[in-house]
Amino acid sequence: MTHFFEAIRSTVAKWAGLMKRDTLTVWIAARDPMTPLRAKVLAAAVAAYALSPIDLIPDFIPVLGWLDDLLIVPLGIWLVLKLLPPDVLVRCRAKAEALTLRPMSRAGLVAVLLTWCLVATAVVLWVLA
């Protein structure tokens, strides 16, 4: 029985990884100058909806709340991918793969650490004053 659940977990994890890649692909395609207008408009709408924290049906509503995540977004992504010319799809998928494999930005890390140091210094100075 454990093997069965491990197989399901593995399948779901693989599907989730592909959805992440294809969501990024759609977002990149929406901004690509070689994407046809119809695909670009749909890609922008699907990417905005998929990446938005606001759902059509809130997730706290049992079953229906997950319907958009399990049906609407994947169907929108599938349609956009079908509308993209093959060369655009290959280029956008390669960019999406690069984004998912990219290491963290050192400049971003330094900026966040400096910000936290400045905030900590300000708090210490305020407490001592």
Angle (CA) 44-86-24 rounded to 5° is: 35
* Identity of residue 121: T
Q: What is the dihedral of CA 47, 50, 51, 55, to 10 degrees?
A: 130
d(CA 105, CA 28): 20
d(CA 46, CA 18): 16
Q: Which is nearest to 25 in space by CA: 94, 87, 101?
A: 94
Domain boundaries, the chain: 2-104
Per-residue confidence of the chain (129 residues) as pLDDT tens digits? 678 878 888 887 788 778 888 989 999 999 999 999 999 999 999 888 887 777 777 777 777 777 777 788 899 999 999 999 999 999 999 999 888 776 556 676 677 778 888 888 988 899 888
Q: In the structure encoding, which two tokens stand for residue 122, read together?
A: 């300000």
| Residues whose CB is less than 8 angstroms from the CB of residue 1 and which lie 6 or more positions away in sequence, other chains included | none
This prediction has a pTM of 0.67
